[in-house]
Amino acid sequence: MTGSQSGKRLVKVVLDEDSIGPGNRDVEHERAVAIYDLVEENSFAPAGHDGGPYCLKLQVAGNRLIFDIRTEDDQPVVAHHLSLSPFRRLVKDYFLICESYYQAIRTATPSQIEAIDMGRRGLHDEGSELLMERLKHKIAIDFDTARRLFTLITVLHWKG
């Protein structure tokens, strides 16, 4: 990463414990992997702020998803509140197909697993694109960062 880009990234991601309900083992694993992958490689630049790197706390309050963005030394940058309504159908469908996927990997044929996984990835891509659209003009993120953030949103959105 170049010097000018090194600050346009997340170095820490925290999920609000009050927003997280009990999750099953598969959901908890996805959350841990998404946080690890997100911190390892991301592109994250709040509009109008040249500082960074950043820390992000994600939480749900009512029907809002809150992106609480701070500098590495915990100075507030901005808090964006997004309505969860546009995500509800996608997240519900995503979790239904994830349940099917996790059951299939235990009992189904490889071609059945692949078909379910293609559907799962398609929904994940759709959610990632929606997130990028909703954050446009607020936070510049790339598609891979949006995918990892969408995984975390699904964990926060549905409390298990």
Q: Name the residue ranges covered by the structural domains of the chain.
A: 10-157
Q: What is the mean pLDDT of the chain?
A: 88
Alpha helices per DSSP H over the chain? 25-40, 85-107, 110-135, 143-157
81-106 pLDDT, tens digit per residue, is: 999 999 999 989 988 998 899 899 99
In this predicted structure, the answer to whether residue 160 has a pLDDT above a threshold of 70 is no
33-62 pLDDT, tens digit per residue, is: 889 999 999 999 999 998 899 999 998 888
Distances (CA, A) of 76 to 51, 52, 70, 92, 156: 11, 11, 4, 32, 22
Closest listed residue to residue 43, CA positions, set 138, 134, 145, 139:
145
In this predicted structure, the answer to whether residue 73 has a pLDDT above a threshold of 70 is yes
